[in-house]
Structure 1
Amino acid sequence: MAKKDYYQILGIPKSAEEREIKKAYKRLAMKYHPDRNQGDKSAENKFKEIKEAYEILINEEKRSAYDQYGHAAFENGHNQNNTYNTFTSSTDFGDIFGDVFGDIFGGSRNQRVKKGADLCYNMEISLEEAVKGVIKEIRIPTFQKCKTCYGTGASAGTKPNGCSTCHGKGQIHIRKGFFTVQQSCPKCNGRGTVIKNPCHICRGQGRIKTNKILSVKIPSGIDTNDKIRLSHEGEAGINGAPSGDLYVQMTVNKHPIFEREDNNLYCEVPINFTMAALGGEIEVPTLDGRVKLKIPSETQSGKLFRIRGKGVKSVQSRSKGDLLCRVVVETPVNLNEQQKYLLNELGNSFNGFRGDKNSPRSKRFFDGVKRFFDDLTK
């Protein structure tokens, strides 16, 4: 009888990653393990099948061979079935699953040494600092390794003793009806060791709560929601384990003049209508100082001018964006009588507000309006 496909047995796709394989195995093994189905021969056979599939697919070399040659890769006396002929109701159940089931029943075997937690620090900076880069000092409240006991938790000249209850494993096995589960040792709380003479500084914890000051280099071009990772600057681990990492979350504050979009900067530049009509030259701001911008005659409000290389330098490619200036033609206010007279004379020279010759957009608009109403009356 042809053997079933290992991927089908576990109910996973061929592209499944290690975590998916473990998850599928855990679910099926819990269901078909002989300790939970005593006397059920079909469940025992099913479990053998599941475990065989798991042992092959969780091993990178065996999985590669299986993907290439199928079941033939394990024939000629190397069939895996003869490994799973017997089961015991206590030790086998715990030994088979190890860390696969540890997280369900109260911890894993690695709880004796636990890496410190990662930390996140929210930092606000100005647009100028984000564009040019800056070094900032930050104060972090955190747990650090005790410098007196070097993280062991034991007083000077002593060291932790192995726990006599769990024999240094940090876990104990307890019979729960028809199967066995593991949980943290109640005597050492999963550490695997017992401290008879705790350090008087950290009181046996191996770490103390304190503030530390760090200098953070902010690279030029960083943007809101970017993160900077500082390795091993998070909380200290337990029992001398490595510290976690510190992530600095960036927020760039709003700027009164410029808006940023990717690596380009935008700003609005007001000009009077005389400049817009006749043209001229104005100064516009950049983050490096002022630059001159030539305004051609007959410039319309909203026109966008690009000044290359005056934007933001990309963190990844180091290429620099541009500054885009949008001109806004401003209507004059607080006119005196002489100015009003001159403007009135100018308006009369346009031959009406439609300005057939001098205001092409107005002409197109009102011509379109006329055609619209003419079509309604047909």
Structure 2
Amino acid sequence: MATKRDYYEVLEVTKTATFEEIKKAYRKKAIQYHPDKNPGDEEAEDKFKEAAEAYEILSDEQKRAKYDRYGHSAPGGFGSSHSGGFSMDDIFSQFGDIFGGHFGGGFGGFGGQRGPRANRGSDLRVKVKLTLKDIAAGVEKKIKVNKFVACTYCKGTGADGGTAYETCSTCKGSGVVTRVMNTILGQMQTQSTCPTCNGEGKTITKKCSHCAGEGIVKEEEVISINIPAGVAEGMQLSMSGKGNAARHGGVNGDLLILVEEEQHPELFRDDNDVVYNLLLSFSTAALGGNVVVPTIDGKVKVTIEPGTQPGKVLRLKNKGLPSINRYGTGDLLINISVYIPETLSDSEKSTLTGLENSPNFQPSKSVKDKIFRHFRKMFD
């Protein structure tokens, strides 16, 4: 499979381009590579489809933001129609309107073969809260959504009994009205959406009483969502066809799932690593010992070496979170802090005073240099 080109490169626009600039760039490309201007040229047809795919993503604010962050490998895809490959009918039915009604049918009537317009249901957006344990292993979540579904009484048509409709007399069922114009390029056939049937190719003679002729009704539905391991706060996943049903039949919208992370009581996330701040007593840091620390999956025992200094970081390999692209697993980073008592008894003060003059209780030059380098890295 060929590597996809950058969408901004395809349309020859910058990443800061406005919607109008993107729209103008797509129109230019579509005219340049239109199949009727390039008959039999498969490369031109591929570029025509490539431009439509780029426009579909970059003209949608949410899809564009997702593409800017993750590129073509965005988790869950873009919930777009191009995922299965654009057809010419897809392009003309979805984007023909950007030509202002003067190019929708193409040259020589290429677009005239497209059928009635298929309605599309709106997308649904939900938020899903996940724990670190959910994110580490992946999880299935069941959620209730109140959404539009196809009316069972009219089979989503909006017509009484699903049969009380007839072919549109204006467009003869094509969903479009056609005109022929003479231009400097020769005869051009222009198409626009039929005003009588709104592009559906049929008109209802008797409305369904259950849905008032809309073809859709509101219902509650339980949807199972499979969340892959390694997702992060702010990621958006999509489930194709799980959004609202379309009026009078057509294509369902998508369900868009926004990921939210629940704060762990002891751990916090740093990309795919997980960080824990371990507070040691002065004696444990000096003498060493075994301590228990939390991980995503439970508790583990960690050995503290004698003379462990504050600021030291212990690393437990592969105890973090997996990469969503399956490029490995992060680590658990244990940041060492040492607790210094705020109050001491007289005997404790006496003991420490006695140790103050011991050479072992005075930092050596190498220790001072090590601490200096540690802090310099923090501020570089």
Q: What is the TM-score of this pair, normalised by structure 1?
A: 0.65
Alignment of 1:8-47 (within 5 A): 23-24=27-28
Structure 2 contact 138–229 (Cα < 8 Å) conserved = yes
Among 297, 302, 306, the alignment partner of 1:293 is: 302
- Percent identical across equivalent pairs? 32
1:55 aligned onto 2:55: no
2:139 and 2:370 mapped to 1: Cα distance? 53
1:148 aligned onto 2:132: no
Per-residue Cα deviation, 1:32-83 (whole angstroms, up to 9, x for no partner): xxxxxxxxxxxxxxxxxx98753354x349989xxxxxxxxxxxxxxxxxxx
1:104 and 1:155 mapped to 2: Cα distance? 36
Shift of 1:365: 9.1
1:243 and 1:232 mapped to 2: Cα distance? 5
Among 203, 212, 218, the alignment partner of 2:221 is: 212
Structure 1 contact 26–101 (Cα < 8 Å) conserved = no
Per-residue Cα deviation, 1:11-34 (whole angstroms, up to 9, x for no partner): xxx9889x99973366679xxxxx
Structure 2 contact 132–296 (Cα < 8 Å) conserved = no
- Which amino acid in structure 1 is aligned with residue 28 of structure 2? A
Aligned residue number for residue 163 of structure 2? 158
| Secondary structure at the counterpart of residue 330 of structure 2 | coil
Among 138, 163, 178, the alignment partner of 1:133 is: 138
Aligned residue number for residue 105 of structure 1? 100
Q: Name the CA shift for 1:176/1:51 in 2 (closer, same or farther; >3 Å).
A: closer
Structure 2 contact 27–99 (Cα < 8 Å) conserved = no
Aligned residue number for residue 244 of structure 2? 235
Structure 1: 5+ residue stretches without partners: 1-13, 30-49, 65-96, 367-378
2:169 and 2:369 mapped to 1: Cα distance? 97
Aligned residue number for residue 361 of structure 1? 367
Q: Which has the larger radius of gyration?
A: 1
- Which amino acid in structure 1 is aligned with residue 138 of structure 2? G
2:204 and 2:310 mapped to 1: Cα distance? 77
Shift of 1:155: 0.8
Shift of 1:350: 4.2
- Which amino acid in structure 1 is aligned with residue 155 of structure 2? Y
Q: Name the CA shift for 1:217/1:365 in 2 (closer, same or farther; >3 Å).
A: closer
1:254 and 1:51 mapped to 2: Cα distance? 54
Structure 2: 5+ residue stretches without partners: 1-8, 13-22, 48-90, 106-113, 373-380
Per-residue Cα deviation, 1:219-251 (whole angstroms, up to 9, x for no partner): 343322333332211121333212122121212
1:207 and 1:262 mapped to 2: Cα distance? 43
Aligned residue number for residue 122 of structure 1? 127
Aligned residue number for residue 171 of structure 1? 176
How large is the Cα RMSD of the aligned pairs?
4.0
Structure 2 contact 159–165 (Cα < 8 Å) conserved = yes
Per-residue Cα deviation, 1:265-319 (whole angstroms, up to 9, x for no partner): 1111011222222222211112222211111112111111112232224444384
Shift of 1:165: 1.8
Aligned residue number for residue 245 of structure 1? 254
Shift of 1:188: 1.9
Shift of 1:195: 0.4
2:304 and 2:218 mapped to 1: Cα distance? 61
1:243 and 1:237 mapped to 2: Cα distance? 6
1:297 and 1:152 mapped to 2: Cα distance? 77
Q: What is the TM-score of this pair, normalised by structure 2?
A: 0.65
Alignment of 1:311-322 (within 5 A): 311-317=320-326, 319-322=328-331
Structure 2 contact 11–29 (Cα < 8 Å) conserved = no
| Secondary structure at the counterpart of residue 112 of structure 1 | coil
Structure 1 contact 105–181 (Cα < 8 Å) conserved = no
Shift of 1:325: 0.7
- Which amino acid in structure 1 is aligned with residue 270 of structure 2? E
| Secondary structure at the counterpart of residue 247 of structure 1 | strand
1:22 and 1:105 mapped to 2: Cα distance? 13
In the comparison of the two structures, how many residue pairs are matched?
A: 296
Aligned residue number for residue 204 of structure 2? 195
Aligned residue number for residue 347 of structure 1? 356
Q: Name the CA shift for 1:342/1:111 in 2 (closer, same or farther; >3 Å).
A: farther
1:124 and 1:265 mapped to 2: Cα distance? 18
2:228 and 2:29 mapped to 1: Cα distance? 45
Shift of 1:364: 8.9
Alignment of 1:47-86 (within 5 A): 53-57=37-41, 59-60=42-43
Deviates more, 1:265-274 or 1:254-263: 254-263
- Which amino acid in structure 1 is aligned with residue 283 of structure 2? T
